[in-house]
Structure 1
Amino acid sequence: MSEAYSRDRRIVKTDDFSSVFRLRPVQRSAHFVLYARRNQLDRARLGVIAAKRFAPRAVTRNTIKRVTRELFRQSALPAIDCIVRLSKPVNSKAGPATTARLKTELRSELAQLLRSQAIREERQ
């Protein structure tokens, strides 16, 4: 389990995103879709996509990314590329941008996704 989240632990290139997106989603939750594939590196990498149409405020999108990266750093994943994509609206422009309840829900949902992926990779 590494606390570092340097550039080499991120998926940043379009080709890397595309190669993972070609596969079917591995897991789904109420608001997120997880895509994953094995990589040839010695570490797991993460990409996060939070579209404006599902989270209209930048504060909300940044919160989603921050929580996802934090949970990724704390999880012990094998050498895989993971992309977490927001797939359903989390709030609207009328409501508050972020709340403690929203953060808690996002954290538990994302933790469940990453935990299930770690278990799935252990079995293979």
Structure 2
Amino acid sequence: MTAAPAIQTFPRRVRLLTGADYRRVFEDARRQRGRDLTLLYRRSDSGEARLGLAIGKRHVRHASARNRIKRIVREAFRLRRTDLPPLDMIVLARGGAATTDRRALRAEIDSLLERLQ
């Protein structure tokens, strides 16, 4: 198996890791809404795009569905992160995300990320 190019990885420095990181975005967020996903974002202090995920059990009951949504969002971010402006962003799932198919979720997150450029 070959390794992915370094620019297509998802290293720790491009993740929102601490509660303070999440709080900063939630307190001063702009919003892009899709049908099943919401993207909150603000200017990043780190100088590059960073991603956080908040896929709540309240909206997506089953862990397997939450994990599927997270994988789809991380993959879309990983492939686009070098083209994104320096923003801290959090993706939230809305009620219908659990039943939406993979292609539709991927198209939606791609559309939300495209609006940021």
Query: Does TM, normalized by the shorter one, top 0.5?
Result: yes
RMSD over equivalenced CA pairs, Å = 1.8
Instruction: Give aligned pairs, total.
Output: 110
How far is the alpha carbon of 1:23 from its aligned partner?
A: 2.5
Q: 2:47 aligned with 1:48, yes or no?
A: no
Task: Quote how far apart the aligned CAs of 1:42 are.
Answer: 2.8
How much has 1:69 moved relative to structure 2? 0.6
**Higher share of residues assigned helix:** 2
What are the residue-to-residue correspondences of 1:11-50 with 2, within 5 Å?
A: 11-50=16-55
Structure 1 residue matching 2:84: 3-state secondary structure: coil
Structure 1 match to 2:64: 59
Does 2:115 align with 1:116?
Answer: yes
Identity %: 33
* Runs of 4 or more consecutive aligned structure 1 residues displaced over 6 Å after TM superposition: none
1:47-90 superposed Cα distances (whole Å, 9 cap, x missing partner):
01111121111111111101101100111112110111112233
Measure, in 1, the Cα distance between the counterparts of 2:97 and 2:25: 24
Q: Give the TM-score, by structure 2 length.
A: 0.85
Q: Distance in 2 between matches of 1:40 and 1:78?
A: 12
Match of 2:3 in 1: none
Which range is displaced more, 106-115 or 31-40? Answer: 31-40
The normalised TM-score by structure 1 is 0.81
The one-letter code matched in structure 1 to 2:102 is: K
Q: Is the 8 A contact 2:66 2:98 kept in 1?
A: no
Deviation at 1:45, TM superposition (A): 0.4
The amino acid of 2:68's aligned partner reads: T
1:121 maps to: none
Q: 1:88 aligned to 2:95?
A: yes
Distance 2:106 2:26 in 1: 23
Contact 2:85–2:116 at 8 Å: present in 1 too? no
**2: CA distance between counterparts of 1:34 and 1:25?**
8
